[in-house]
A = this chain, B = another copy of it.
Amino acid sequence: MQPDLLNHAHIAQLSRLFRRHSPLVHCMTNDVVQTFTANVLLAAGASPAMVIDAEEAPQFAALADALLINVGTLTRPRAAAMRAAVASANAAGTPWALDPVAVGALTLRSDFCRELVALKPAAIRGNASEILALAGMSAGGRGVDTTDSAAAALPAARALAQQLATVVAVTGEVDYITDGQRTLAAAGGSPLMTKVVGTGCSLSALVAGACALPGDRLLNVAATCGLVKYAGGAAAAGSRGPGSFVAAFLDTLYQEVKA
């Protein structure tokens, strides 16, 4: 079963959808990528809001169009607030996405991620090590860097997607996006994207937003991965290194993609 390669028209359509619907994405994410995540959402046409308190987060999750849970820099108080937000999102019908940063290596976040996946995320976005660890097939990497290729984690991604009735995006040199039945692939991008913190985390925020867009969720999530690959490749082509890449990446995302 070969994955279908995403085509450019889907990316262009997704780019328009983000601008037209401007989903309000409630981000509960790690301390390292907050600014970049907000700027990526803004550039793509979405609306970010970071609300993290255990009382405020459930209030806001019910108002937002989508919720992102990213377990980087997790703490016990933050986990409690995330738990309350997910419960509220589920009650309100707000779709939410999980980014299981570095799951596997560390006990608190690994236990918490196991708890979270049982709460039915609309989508999960991780690298190969994280998806393997989440599916119980690997001990995980040492940190955010993956030691496995995305293709190697595709069976785990499919199993996880089927079991949870969710969309799983396993990202790497090529991204694979699956609902357990169909699998799409997004290629492109640039190695420079691994030299800038937050490219994966901000993709997860866009994936959360994509779950609030009309149309086929699998295709929307895959096209979001494709959009980031496209913007990353275009930005790298005009950059001298990771510093100028950041500006070029946001500038590219800000332009609506031509069909």
Contact = CB atoms under 8 A, between A and B. Distances in A.
A247 B250 CA distance: 12
A52 interface: yes
Taken together, the copies of this chain in the complex come to: 3
A74 interface: yes
Given A246-B243, A251-B243, A106 B51 contact: yes
Contact of A197 (B48, B63, B248, B254): B48
B251 A39 contact: no
Contacts of A142: 24, 49, 63-64
B34 A53 contact: no
Interface string A20-45: 00001000001111111011001100
A142 B24 CA distance: 9
A12 interface: no
B43 A195 contact: yes
A50 B32 CA distance: 8
Contacts of A254: 195, 241-243
Given A42-B196, A246-B247, A31 B50 contact: yes
B49 A107 contact: no
A249 interface: yes
Nearest to A74: B53
Contacts of A32: 34-35, 38, 50
Given A32-B50, A106-B60, A109-B56, A42 B242 contact: yes
Interface size class of A (residues with CB under 8 A): 35 or more
Contacts of A195: 39, 42-43, 254
A252 interface: yes
A59 interface: yes
B43 A242 contact: yes
Interface in A223-246: 239-244, 246
A38 B250 contact: no
28 contacts: A24-B143, A31-B50, A32-B34, A35-B35, A35-B197, A39-B242, A39-B243, A43-B195, A43-B241, A43-B242, A47-B145, A48-B197, A49-B102, A51-B102, A53-B75, A53-B76, A56-B74, A56-B109, A59-B107, A60-B105, A63-B105, A64-B142, A195-B254, A241-B250, A241-B254, A241-B255, A242-B250, A243-B249
